[in-house]
Structure 1
Amino acid sequence: MILRKRTLLLMVIDAVLINLAVFLSFYIRFAVDGDGTIPEEYLLTLTHSAWTATLIYLSVFYIFGLYNKLWQYASIGELISIIFAVTVAAAGTITVVYFIAPMRFPHTVSALMWFSTLFLIGGSRFIWRILQDNIFTPHVPGSQNQVLIIGAGDAGVMAARELKNKNYREGRPVGYIDDAATKQRLQLMGIPVLGTRRDIPRVVKNHNIDKIIIAMPSASGDVIREIVGICEKTGVDLKIMPGVFDVVSGKVDTKEIRQVQVEDLLGREAVTVDLEDVAGYLTGEAVLITGGGGSIGSELCRQVARFNPAKLVIVGHGENSVFDIEQELRSENPGLDVVTEILDIKDREKVHLVFQRYKPGVVFHAAAHKHVPLMEKNPEEAMKNNIMGTSNLAEAADAAKVKTFVLISTDKAVNPTSIMGATKRVAEMVIQSMDKRSDTKYVAVRFGNVLGSRGSVIPTFKRQIAKGGPVTVTHPDMVRYFMTIPEASQLVIQAGSMAQGGEIFILDMGQPVKILDLARDLIRLSGFEPDVDIKIKFTGMRPGEKLFEELLTAEEGTSATKHKRIFVAKPNNINVSQLEELIHLIRERGSYLTREEVMGQLQAIVPTFRKQASKAVANQ
């Protein structure tokens, strides 16, 4: 009933305006060329035109949905709708009056009628928005925070519009900052461009800025890092519009404006994968994920769940983490068939039993011992878990006729200086060896450090900052490649779709990031000043560490794939008999292997381990 009354009211108003437009069209025509009066012979035409126009215009407006719009939010889209509807209705009116019921009808009246109707109808709609914005909208106290927007582009305008739509409750935009010379001293939405990034401190001081919003979704990590550094020195609240949103495609969501995070400062664009396009191989398959309760494994579970697998088998050694991801998935995906298995991948018989029970079509192997210092102290466990465990899974996959097996590896497997890295390199050899004698497609995915994963540097830094410091960095020159958990998970799924067998897929991770810079950035983002409020302490390199990581050995080389940021390493020749002897040795004496025996075995099968390890020892 409310909608019907509103529609009738709008139609009555439009009828009045249409009749007024018809009268004005005739009056203006004869006021210009005559004495200002409409000749009697045209009065009948005027009357018929008014009735005809009213019926046709109202009908067209109704068909075109002009009575179903909220005009207090009118914008360019609504204006285009009005122009289109008025043009169609004007053409219909002229056709009836001039051709179907021939009457004396001055040609200039046609153009005047179109313009007058457009002006009156359009004006009546947009006057409502003007009144809504400036009179009817109540003023909300406490909305006078001054906001500076970095980026005078589409995202910046959307940020300003969102602040306005929220009645400035979160602040009032007073200006933009943009490095483009062509935008200086111009205005967007009535808000001036006040300078470039070099002018930020001056603008903040002169305009009493309370909050800064970085609205540059397409900017690189290096640019964001520099701007964040400038803004943090001003001491005002800093927010950012996430860089994963694409302004051009209209995916920028101003509701996602949030605090700046370390991920925004990576020296490269975020890697995105169109999973809808590549993940079809998961639909209808039983998918088994080892290490399913871990950082990468649990995110893989979430991503895989989107594609309607026939069954999702979550395998893990820690019952609490497996329980948590199981409960989350059951809550978020009630129709998903989720099963869990508490399993140690070193248990060969149980591994084969689980594979025969569920007959998975796709396996993601994310279970591993990954902490470098711990594995230096427990080398036999690294051998048992990362090598023998991977061998158990690979054999079971072959016996169960798995279609695709994806091993998650690490950049530490390249020219390894740590036992963890060397065992992961051997794990890569295991799956490449199995690929040569099995119908299953075995591949590996190699990437760097994952931001936010358990035991990674970011959570460690955050805990240290929360305690007041110091933040511990092993070496001032240490650098690492970084990626986010979603990036890592998407890369793994992408690799599975591209697998032909035997490949090692590598992500182009851009430029490595200095750990010291990362520590300082995180301290600033936490509201403190490095070396003033929070001290940074250098602890020295730990056993097995090196200053920088590599993604390829000298022998591997790469070739491109259909994804511009993913490459595939050429497989190396593997001494299969030597590899089998090592696995047999681990099965027979795994827990009793001494550190010297472990080092000797790894150096024999990974020749670069001996060279790099000796260099690392010499540098310590």
Structure 2
Amino acid sequence: MLNVKSFFEKNKSKLPCIAFDILAMPVAWIIVYWFKYAADGIVSHLLAKDALTALSILVIGQIICYFKFKVYRGLWHFSSLSDVIRVMQATVVSVILATPFLHFISIFEVVPRRVLPLYCLILTALLCGGRLVLRYWTDKRHQAPIQTDDIVQRILIVGAGQAGAGLVRDLKRTLIYIPVGFMDDDTSKQGLELHGVPVLGSINDLPAMVLQHQVDLLFIAIPSANSADMRRIVSFCEASMRPFRTLPSVQALALGQVDVNALRQVSIDDLLGRDQVTLSWDKIAANIHERCILVTGAGGSIGSELCRQIMMLQPQKIILLDHSEFNLYQVEQNLSQEFPTISIEPILANVIDAVAIKALFQRVQPNIVFHAAAYKHVPILEHQIRAAICNNIIGTQIVAEASAAAGVEKFIMISSDKAVNPTNIMGTTKRVAEIYCQNLNTRVTTQFITVRFGNVLGSVGSVLPLFQKQLASGGPLTVTHPDMERFFMTIPEASQLILQAMANGSGGEIFVLDMGEPIKIMYLAEQIIRLAGKTPGKDIQIKFIGLRPGEKLFEELFHASEQLVPTEHEKLFQAKFREMNWDDLMQTMALIHQACELNQQKQLLHLLKNLVPEFHNELLPHLQVEIVEQPVGI
């Protein structure tokens, strides 16, 4: 039974709107009869019993339809096109549903059928018109003149699309922002108006329009812009010498978050990030859901984000392996709070501890292993050859052999673009790890898959945190060379690439991401300074310090001898590996173990050169030796 008191309490804020709609129904009915019977005694026809009965039936049916179509869900003061459409749909449907019933009780013998379409049209006009008038009045009221001119900011909006339209509507309701125009490259929009605000020209005209219209602040309203577009837009914003902000993303637009509060500072990710990659989540989930997953290096930048994305796919259990007690504790705590229902087992161990690794794998029997543990700091490893080889080569061998012995289905090794034509110890050790895993793949049932990508923004030891720290201390920002370039991606994107490669791989592949164009480190340093509101070379200096040991000016993603072929995923490429004689490879691996135990630095370098002939390290002449022994077949 309908609780009238409860109904009125629940809909108290909607009662004025409901009352308006109920009042509009007899008004529309009167207007219809006025059109129909103006010259023939309108009052007598209106007060006829059948006419009142028909109106009563329509009013009851329409109120029910209005609630069913959620006409009263939106705020009346901010009615939009979607609200108007709901009103039209509810009005038409209610009249259509009432027509058979009115026919059944013979109302149409007195009330002409032609009254209903006209009534429907006029009622819709009254209801929608009332809402739009109130919306217009609300907007005008918020545009009241301001006495204190110095707090008003004149705004120029970059982007006259859906996001720009939503933003200008919100700006017009504020007291501190006056939108003076749009800038858009679409020539069909230029010279037109959007919500009364003119589209002044293209983005190239931005600096001139800023001066001409005395603009104080720039808002970028193109959430779908890729990084190349953002770099271009930001360059013109910087040339205008005005502060600028941006809407966050196309996802925010989808969620309706297009307002002044959603605006934020442009971040370095906006300029260096790339178009979001569409992943085969069903295929990825099939490998992860309700499976036991083990991640080495789980406490690192890539490892921790990889664990988080794995947890979103609901594994049965995840094993977190890391040699850092603090990092392991931190990642375990974060994941436990975010995913309290999934079993998490933290393991404090080093990948070079063969006894611990083999025992762990035999006990937990993981289905999928992600090997993210590695030493990655190039300059440090140039002088720590033994440590680099022990961790990156021997550690990989130990984890790979334990995986094969435990019947792991897939082993995904995280590699680096520095493994291609390496000039440093880090890249060379990663290349040897690639070679070992690729060749082991042909001898065991475990599928060994390699993922190779460029620099990761914000990862531990990367250039971005260093720049941010130097900026906070007042500079200078240190750049090794003005021409140095690197490929960049975000930590989540790198983790997603790893998952996609895992799903696509069947063993023996090297997967390489389409990284787009490399970015100059000099450009990155300048943008970090500008985004902080400072001027490079004036407020914050940039200092060139020269190439560090093992560094290259340009990185590569694949070797010239590797046959790069496309895959079913448009952003993933596959590089064919070089098969090696297994006995020769294992003999060299045994010599690497022996040289590590004896701490024979020159012998270790010699063995690396044997396995990776393209390795050139001109910065370590004191360790270069003649390659005369132990040739390895390739």
2:596/2:604 contact within 8 Å kept: no
Answer yes or no: is 1:302 the counterpart of 2:308.
Answer: yes
Answer yes or no: is 1:38 the counterpart of 2:42.
Answer: yes
1:243/1:264 contact within 8 Å kept: no
Choose from 197, 211, 214 the match for 2:217: 211
What secondary structure sits across from 2:345 in the alignment? strand
What is the match of residue 78 of structure 2?
A: 73
Residues of 2 paired with 1:268 and 1:41: CA distance?
69
Answer yes or no: is 1:53 the counterpart of 2:58.
Answer: yes
- Give the deviation of 1:268 after TM superposition: 4.4
Answer yes or no: is 1:152 the counterpart of 2:157.
Answer: no
Cα 1:285–1:103 shift into 2, 3 Å: same
Cα 1:592–1:534 shift into 2, 3 Å: farther
Choose from 9, 25, 31 the match for 1:24: 31
Choose from 352, 371, 376 the match for 1:346: 352
1:150/1:216 contact within 8 Å kept: yes
Answer yes or no: is 1:14 the counterpart of 2:14.
Answer: no
What secondary structure sits across from 1:65 in the alignment? coil
Q: Tell me the amino acid that sits aligned with residue 572 of structure 2.
A: I
- Give the deviation of 1:203 after TM superposition: 2.7
What is the match of residue 64 of structure 1?
A: 69
Q: Tell me the amino acid that sits aligned with residue 62 of structure 2.
A: Y
What secondary structure sits across from 1:181 in the alignment? coil
1:411/1:448 contact within 8 Å kept: yes
Q: Tell me the amino acid that sits aligned with residue 161 of structure 2.
A: G
What is the match of residue 627 of structure 2?
A: none
Answer yes or no: is 1:359 the counterpart of 2:359.
Answer: no
Answer yes or no: is 1:600 the counterpart of 2:603.
Answer: no
2:550/2:619 contact within 8 Å kept: no
Q: Tell me the amino acid that sits aligned with residue 66 of structure 2.
A: F
What secondary structure sits across from 1:183 in the alignment? coil
What secondary structure sits across from 1:296 in the alignment? helix
Answer yes or no: is 1:82 the counterpart of 2:82.
Answer: no
Answer yes or no: is 1:291 the counterpart of 2:297.
Answer: yes
- Give the deviation of 1:506 after TM superposition: 0.5
Residues of 1 paired with 2:327 and 2:33: CA distance?
80
Residues of 1 paired with 2:176 and 2:339: CA distance?
35
Residues of 1 paired with 2:46 and 2:171: CA distance?
53
Answer yes or no: is 1:471 the counterpart of 2:480.
Answer: no
Residues of 1 paired with 2:80 and 2:391: CA distance?
61
What is the correspondence of 1:491-510 to structure 2 with a 5 Å cutoff? Answer: 491-510=497-516
Q: 1:468-494 deviations in whole A, cap 9, x for unaligned? A: 222211111111111110110010111
What is the correspondence of 1:194-233 to structure 2 with a 5 Å cutoff? Answer: 194-233=200-239
What is the correspondence of 1:136-151 to structure 2 with a 5 Å cutoff? Answer: 144-151=152-159
Cα 1:303–1:40 shift into 2, 3 Å: closer
1:546/1:616 contact within 8 Å kept: no
What is the match of residue 439 of structure 2?
A: 433
- Give the deviation of 1:36 after TM superposition: 6.5
Cα 1:288–1:533 shift into 2, 3 Å: same
Cα 1:209–1:426 shift into 2, 3 Å: same
- Give the deviation of 1:528 after TM superposition: 1.6
Choose from 483, 491, 495 the match for 2:489: 483
Q: Tell me the amino acid that sits aligned with residue 570 of structure 1.
A: K
Residues of 1 paired with 2:321 and 2:13: CA distance?
60
Residues of 2 paired with 1:534 and 1:30: CA distance?
82
1:220/1:268 contact within 8 Å kept: yes
Residues of 1 paired with 2:353 and 2:29: CA distance?
89
Cα 1:327–1:607 shift into 2, 3 Å: same
What secondary structure sits across from 2:560 in the alignment? coil
Cα 1:608–1:169 shift into 2, 3 Å: farther
Q: Indicate the larger mover: 303-312 or 216-225.
A: 216-225
Answer yes or no: is 1:574 the counterpart of 2:580.
Answer: yes
Cα 1:438–1:485 shift into 2, 3 Å: same
What is the correspondence of 1:74-473 to structure 2 with a 5 Å cutoff? Answer: 74-97=79-102, 100-101=105-106, 102-106=108-112, 108-135=114-141, 144-163=152-171, 167-168=173-174, 171-243=177-249, 245=251, 256-266=262-272, 268-275=274-281, 277-473=283-479
TM-score between the two structures when normalised by the length of structure 2? 0.89
Q: Tell me the amino acid that sits aligned with residue 279 of structure 2.
A: V
Q: Indicate the larger mover: 140-149 or 401-410.
A: 140-149
What is the correspondence of 1:528-543 to structure 2 with a 5 Å cutoff? Answer: 528-543=534-549
Residues of 2 paired with 1:294 and 1:63: CA distance?
52
Cα 1:152–1:114 shift into 2, 3 Å: same
Cα 1:584–1:221 shift into 2, 3 Å: same
Residues of 2 paired with 1:592 and 1:323: CA distance?
34
- Give the deviation of 1:366 after TM superposition: 0.7
Q: 1:526-572 deviations in whole A, cap 9, x for unaligned? A: 22211222222222212211111111111211222221101111121
Answer yes or no: is 1:564 the counterpart of 2:586.
Answer: no
Cα 1:339–1:163 shift into 2, 3 Å: farther
Q: Indicate the larger mover: 473-482 or 39-48.
A: 39-48
Residues of 1 paired with 2:230 and 2:13: CA distance?
49
Q: 1:266-322 deviations in whole A, cap 9, x for unaligned? A: 284243435355233111112111111111011111111112212111111111111
Q: Indicate the larger mover: 202-211 or 574-583.
A: 202-211
2:306/2:495 contact within 8 Å kept: yes
- Give the deviation of 1:63 after TM superposition: 3.7
Q: 1:149-184 deviations in whole A, cap 9, x for unaligned? A: 2111122223334545xx437744332111111111
Q: 1:49-108 deviations in whole A, cap 9, x for unaligned? A: 433433333343344333454323321112111111211233345545566414244465
Q: Tell me the amino acid that sits aligned with residue 591 of structure 2.
A: L
Q: Indicate the larger mover: 250-259 or 306-315.
A: 250-259
Q: Tell me the amino acid that sits aligned with residue 294 of structure 2.
A: L
Q: Tell me the amino acid that sits aligned with residue 17 of structure 1.
A: A
- Give the deviation of 1:14 after TM superposition: 3.1
Residues of 2 paired with 1:257 and 1:356: CA distance?
52
Residues of 2 paired with 1:337 and 1:275: CA distance?
22
1:22/1:46 contact within 8 Å kept: no
Cα 1:376–1:174 shift into 2, 3 Å: same
Choose from 507, 511, 519 the match for 1:513: 519
Calculate percent identity across the aligned residue pairs. 39
Cα 1:331–1:171 shift into 2, 3 Å: farther
Q: Tell me the amino acid that sits aligned with residue 298 of structure 2.
A: G
Q: Indicate the larger mover: 353-362 or 588-597.
A: 588-597
What secondary structure sits across from 2:231 in the alignment? helix
Cα 1:180–1:546 shift into 2, 3 Å: same
Q: 1:218-242 deviations in whole A, cap 9, x for unaligned? A: 3332221122122123343322234
Q: Tell me the amino acid that sits aligned with residue 38 of structure 1.
A: I
Residues of 2 paired with 1:415 and 1:289: CA distance?
28
1:290/1:315 contact within 8 Å kept: yes
